[in-house]
Amino acid sequence: MAKRIDVSGLNAYYGSFLAVEDISMTVEPRSVTAFIGPSGCGKSTFLRTLNRMHEVTPGGRVEGKVLLDDENLYGAGIDPVAVRREVGMVFQRPNPFPTMSVYDNVAAGLKLNGSYKKSELDDIVEKSLRGANLWNEVKDRLAKPGSGLSGGQQQRLCIARAIAVEPDVLLMDEPCSALDPISTLAIEDLIGELKERFTIVIVTHNMQQAARVSDRTAFFNLAAVGKPGKLIELDDTERIFSNPSVQATEDYISGRFG
Least spacing, CB of residue 1 vs ligand ATP, in Å: 29
Which residues have C-beta within 8 Å of that of residue 33, sequence separation ≥ 6? 27, 200, 201, 202, 214, 215, 216, 217, 218, 234
- The one of ligand ATP, Mg ion, none whose footprint includes residue 80, by CB under 5 to 8 A per kind, is none
Quote the distance between the C-alpha of residue 172 and its chain's center.
Answer: 2
- The one of ligand ATP, Mg ion, none whose footprint includes residue 42, by CB under 5 to 8 A per kind, is ligand ATP
Residue (100 or 207) nearer to ligand ATP, CB: 207
Find, among 199, 203, 197, the residue nearest to 217 by Cα.
203
Q: Does 156 engage in binding with ligand ATP (CB under 6 A)?
A: no
Least spacing, CB of residue 214 vs Mg ion, in Å: 17
Which 2-61 residues touch Mg ion, going by CB under 5 A? Answer: 44
Residue (40 or 80) nearer to ligand ATP, CB: 40
Residue (23 or 200) nearer to ligand ATP, CB: 23
Say which amino acid occupies 151: G
Element (H, E) at 155: helix 151-164
Which 193-222 residues touch ligand ATP, going by CB under 6 A? Answer: none
- The one of Mg ion, ligand ATP, none whose footprint includes residue 4, by CB under 5 to 8 A per kind, is none
Find, among 105, 201, 200, the residue nearest to 161 by Cα.
105
Residue (208 or 243) nearer to ligand ATP, CB: 208
Which 28-67 residues touch ligand ATP, going by CB under 6 A? Answer: 39-45, 57
E-state strands within 149-228: 169-173, 199-203, 216-222
Residue (31 or 177) nearer to ligand ATP, CB: 177
Residue (54 or 110) nearer to ligand ATP, CB: 54
Overall size of the chain counted in residues: 258
Element (H, E) at 68: strand 60-68
- The one of ligand ATP, Mg ion, none whose footprint includes residue 19, by CB under 5 to 8 A per kind, is ligand ATP
- The one of Mg ion, ligand ATP, none whose footprint includes residue 218, by CB under 5 to 8 A per kind, is none
User: Do the Cβ atoms of 257 and 246 come closer than 8 Å?
Assistant: no
Q: Longest C-alpha distance within the chain, in Å?
A: 57
Least spacing, CB of residue 217 vs ligand ATP, in Å: 14
Q: Does 14 engage in binding with ligand ATP (CB under 6 A)?
A: yes
Query: Three-class SS of residue 253?
Result: helix
DSSP annotation string for 88-130: EEE-SS----TTSBHHHHHHHHHHHH----HHHHHHHHHHHHH
Applying CB under 6 A, the residues found at the interface with ligand ATP are 14, 17, 19, 39-45, 57, 229
| Residues at the site binding Mg ion, with contacts judged by CB under 5 A | 44
